[in-house]
Amino acid sequence: MAGQSSEGAVASSSERMPLLAGKQPSESDESKGSIKKAAKFMAENAVVICITLLTIALVVILCTFFVFPTKKPPTKTSVCLTAACVHASSEILYNLSPDYKSLDPCTNFEELVCGGWDDRHDLRPDQGDAFTGTIMSENSQMLLRHILEAPYPNESKHSSFSPAQLVQTLSSVDEQNFDKLRDAYNACMDEDAIKKVGIKPLRDLLIQVARLYPTEARHDNDLYETILFLTEHGVSSLVEFGVGADDKDPDTVVVSVQPPYRIGLPAKNYYTDDDVLKKYQDALTQTIDKFHPDNKNNKEFSKEVIELEKKLAAASPDSEDRDDVTQYYNPMTLKEADGLAPQIHLAELIGKLEPTKVQTKGLIVSSPSYMSNLTSILSASSRGTLQTYFTWKAIQAYASYVEADEIKPYTRFANDLQGKDPDSTPERWRTCVGHADEGLGWILSRFFVEKAFSEKAKIFGDTIVTDIKDQFIEKLKVTTWMDKSVIDLAIEKVHKIVQKIGYPTKSPNIMDPPSLRSYYKSVEVNASSFFQNAVSINRFDVKNEWAALSYQTDRDAWGMTVPTVNAYYNPPGNEIVFPAGIMQFPVFDVNAPQYLSYGAFGSVSGHELSHAFDSTGRHYDQNGNYTDWWTTDTVAAFKERAECFVDQYSHFTVPGPNDEPLHVNGRLTLGENIADAGGITAAFAAWKKRAAETPNEDLPGLEHFTQEQLFFVGYAGWWCGKTRKEAAIDRIYSDPHAPKWARILGTMANSRDFKNSFQCKEREPVCEIW
């Protein structure tokens, strides 16, 4: 029973035994005489005594049934003692606060579940934050390291697509793919070679930038040619391009142009912080001095670059608006868009980037006001300032591919902004596993799945997601604030949601070696040239993205590689995607009691599904079209309920600059907060239905909690984490997710099931939509 200590459990069972154990005292002679007298009395009054006893028994029975209602004895469930259950139990106990039995879960659930995690996990000098998902990622990284540092696993028989199961021709191609992957990894690991070449490859790149945009004007195309060169190398500067499904016609691929997500600093808010700007300018000046020591104007140009970035940031949309489809979906003809900022020759840029046989006629301009302001900003900027800005953007983009003292002013500043040790760097193998995933991620995914995933896990994941879809439909059926016509379409939308679990089998099929070889055929990898590998991969990524214009939207493509510990909902595709990386212990375990997997992975699944009906997803119909399919009354009711979430989360704070409270942006985080609340509700209902059919076993050592309570412990354990002050500030500025501790407290406050499970005094959720 919840709240009962283990000592209490022992006392209850001991009450069935006599109060005092051992032999009772002997009867005396005096007592024997009394017994004889009593026997004589009973013989003479037997009838009277029997009637009296029967009367007393009847009264007791009647009182039991009518005065004290019958209580069904608690159903006893077996305790699971398998290795998986002991592992799961020890993980929970390890993370719980030492005072978990005395803490009030209704007011302090984050501390109750995560107090031990916080005590036992220290951030490394190179970390700004970490949580359970970070540990899962690092476990996957370690596995990938072992894969990359071992020979091709030609004897592996883990599954039907393992190397030993492939026919000879496929095995040969598979090994070639593996060699390409390992060459890229080894080139990254060769620090001696990387240090020996120093900044030369990056300097060569910067020389090309300077030639394309000299401080003395050559011709009107200087700006366009420089932006084109940087874009082809994966560097966003004044504008950023995207190629993807048209929100209003999701089978059609369209070009979009928007302000860069990162002007220079990680978030727009930093440009109003004088202390940060001073440090940033110092880092910029020192770095540029290292690359151009003979330029006496570096300090002045660096100062002007800061002013340029401030203007660009001021012209950019706020964080909560840039991903709002009602704000960014502005279709224009190419001629109209070109006229907004004629200096950058937008039509020519797109003409050079698109495939040869494609001719773009229209595009989406996410911020017409930014494009218009860009004209005046560029007119007020000197060529020296713009050249320095372009140089700086290239340095920022390629700094991680260089090991040299010349870039340390920048890396020290970037670390300091996240609260890390300024001189810290991750272990080299971690960096190189990350680069391998970024560059040849689908080949890496193939060997990750072969080693760490199973068909049984895929089936279980599909089952959880399907169960949650069913429960979300049941929730829609009894929703009172939506009009019936909207509910019917919403139910149809849930039915049509595509669920992608584990890994892709198309675009590319990671189980098919020739498919992977074809996908990466244009990527050149040299085992002795790390920087050039990075250039080749970045150029490939850009060409591959733009190549999509030649076809209809590829609905089989995935937006995350398989080892990624994350998940997503894609509105135009009306799809939810769960890579195998997130389907790992402790979030997901086929062999542990299901309340743990439903509590953690199930809530993640419900979260992603809920995105289909959050502040963004509600704008897309059952086929992924951006359209007004909700009635006016339903929209008004939704907005009223959504405003509750905005207000609730805006009251959460972290220590900000100068240690003044910095409030969570309730509007920026709205979609995620709605999804957290809706996700856990659907997941709990899905688990309860499944458990009614197949009861779960208890976990050893956790008698303090009911299974219902452990469902929520499993959910909250996913969000246990630590964040440095500076990293927390950065996330408040730009992250659409609330701080992890707030995701626990806010979600529990909005969960009726949680409050009922822990018998909280206040049972109604603070905010509720789904």
Q: Which domains does the chain have, with CATH numbers?
A: 222-276+310-401 (1.10.1380.10), 455-504+558-757 (3.40.390.10)
CB 617 within 8 A of CB 569: yes
User: Which pLDDT score, from 0 to 100, does residue 171 have?
Assistant: 81
Can you give the pLDDT at residue 159? 66
pLDDT tens sequence across 698-755: 999 999 999 999 999 999 999 999 999 999 999 999 999 999 999 999 999 999 999 9
pLDDT at 55 over 50: no
Would you say 457 and 580 are in contact if contact means Cβ atoms under 8 Å apart?
yes
Concatenate the DSSP letters of all residues of 103-135 into one string.
S-HHHHHHHHHHHHHHHH----TT-SEEEHHHH
Q: How big is the chain by its Cα radius of gyration, in Å?
A: 32
Under a CB-based contact definition with an 8 Å cutoff, are residues 80 and 701 in contact? no
Distance CA(58)–CA(68), nearest Å, equals 14
Identity at 502, one-letter amino acid code: G
Query: For 525-670, where are the E strands, in sequence order?
Result: 568-570, 575-579, 653-655, 661-663
Mean pLDDT of the chain, nearest integer: 90
Residue 47 scores a pLDDT above 50? no
Averaged pLDDT for residues 161-187 = 87
- Write out pLDDT tens, residues 610-628: 999 999 999 999 999 999 9
Q: What is the pLDDT of residue 541?
A: 98
Q: What is the mean pLDDT of residues 385-401?
A: 98
Residues 556-582: tens digit of each pLDDT: 999 999 999 999 999 999 999 999 999
pLDDT value, residue 517: 97
Sequential DSSP letters for 360-421: --EEEES-HHHHHHHHHHHHTS-HHHHHHHHHHHHHHHHGGG--SGGGHHHHHHHHHHTTS-
Q: For 715-728, give the DSSP string.
A: HHHTT-EEE-HHHH
Task: Write the pLDDT tens digit of every residue in 328-337.
Answer: 999 999 999 9
Mean pLDDT calculated for residue range 40-50: 38
pLDDT for 316 equals: 98
Start-to-end C-alpha separation, the chain: 29
Q: Are 278 and 417 in contact (CB under 8 A)?
A: no
The pLDDT-based confidence of 161 (bands split at 50, 70, 90) is low
Looking at residue 242, its pLDDT comes to 98
- The mean pLDDT value for 354-383 works out to 97
pLDDT at 402: 97
Q: What is the DSSP string of 10-69?
A: HHHHHTTS-SS-SPPPPPPHHHHHHHHHHHHHHHHTHHHHHHHHHHHHHHHHHIIIIIS-
Per-residue pLDDT of 540-551, as tens digits, reads: 999 999 999 999
Rounded to whole angstroms, the Cα distance separating 696 from 582 reads 23
* 142 CB neighbour count, 10 Å cutoff: 13
- In 399-549, alpha helices (H): 408-417, 428-452, 455-477, 484-496, 513-519, 530-547
The CA-atom distances, in angstroms, between 74 and each of 71, 469, 708 are: 9, 32, 15
Percent of the chain with pLDDT over 70: 89
Higher local confidence (pLDDT), 11 or 429: 429
The predicted-structure confidence for 363-376, as pLDDT tens digits, reads as follows 999 999 999 999 99
pLDDT band at 76 (very low <50, low <70, confident <90, very high): low
Whether 20 has a pLDDT exceeding 90, the answer reads no
pLDDT tens string 256-269? 999 999 999 999 99
5 pLDDT exceeds 60? no
Residue listed under structure tokens 């910095």: 662
| pTM, rounded to two decimals | 0.88
Statement: residue 42 has pLDDT above 80: no
CB 743 within 8 A of CB 626: no
C-alpha angle 546/202/264, rounded to 5°? 65
Q: Is 90 helix (H, G, I), strand (E, B) or coil?
A: helix
Q: Is 252 helix (H, G, I), strand (E, B) or coil?
A: strand
Cβ contact 290:248 at 8 Å = no
With contact defined as beta carbons under 8 Å apart, do 2 and 706 qualify? yes
Is the CB of residue 448 less than 8 Å from the CB of residue 156?
A: no
CA atoms of 142 and 563, how far apart (whole Å): 11
* 532 CB-near residues (< 8 Å, 6+ apart): 201, 524, 526
